[in-house]
């Protein structure tokens, strides 16, 4: 899991990212990102009830995506951007970890290139 200091607190900051952020989409993941005023990054994963009515499934998807980003940031270093990832398909719960990681890496590359 991402440290608490690197997670969004409250919905106001997430709304700001949705309004002002640059968008990118890969398969069933979409994200918006902005360059923060503070030095560190923040990450949120949003899984709607439209994806699954079961909180267990939604939380599983959320944890899997957080873990992939944590590993990417550990290896490559964390970018200086605030990211809100939205999930558009329940397949995120069943896709192999390696494939999910590739999607997250591709999404991160797209976001970084659009913010430069």
pTM: 0.89
User: Which tens digits make up the pLDDT trace of 1-10?
Assistant: 778 888 888 8
How many other CB atoms sit within 10 Å of the CB of residue 93? Answer: 20
What residue numbers bound the domain in which 39 lies? 4-115
The DSSP element (H or E) to which 88 belongs, if any, is none
Encode pLDDT of 14-29 as tens digits. Answer: 888 999 999 999 988 9
Look up residue 100 and give its two tokens.
Answer: 């999910």
| pLDDT reported for residue 37 | 80
CATH of the domain at 51: 3.30.230.10
Q: Which residues of the chain have pLDDT under 50?
A: none
3-state secondary structure of 1: coil
CA angle, 27 as apex, 63 and 25 as ends, to 5°? Answer: 90
Number of structural domains, the chain? 1
């Amino acid at each position: 899991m991402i440290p608490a200091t690197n997670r969004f607190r409250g919905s106001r900051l997430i709304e700001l990212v949705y309004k002002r952020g640059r968008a990118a989409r890969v398969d069933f993941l979409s994200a918006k990102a902005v360059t923060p005023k503070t030095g560190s990054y923040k990450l949120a994963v949003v899984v709607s009830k439209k994806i699954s009515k079961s909180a267990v499934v939604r939380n599983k998807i959320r944890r899997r995506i957080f873990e992939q980003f944590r590993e990417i940031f550990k290896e490559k270093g964390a970018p200086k951007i605030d990211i809100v990832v939205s999930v558009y398909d329940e397949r995120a719960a069943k896709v192999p970890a390696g494939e999910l990681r590739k999607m997250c890496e591709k999404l991160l590359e797209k976001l970084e290139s659009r913010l430069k």
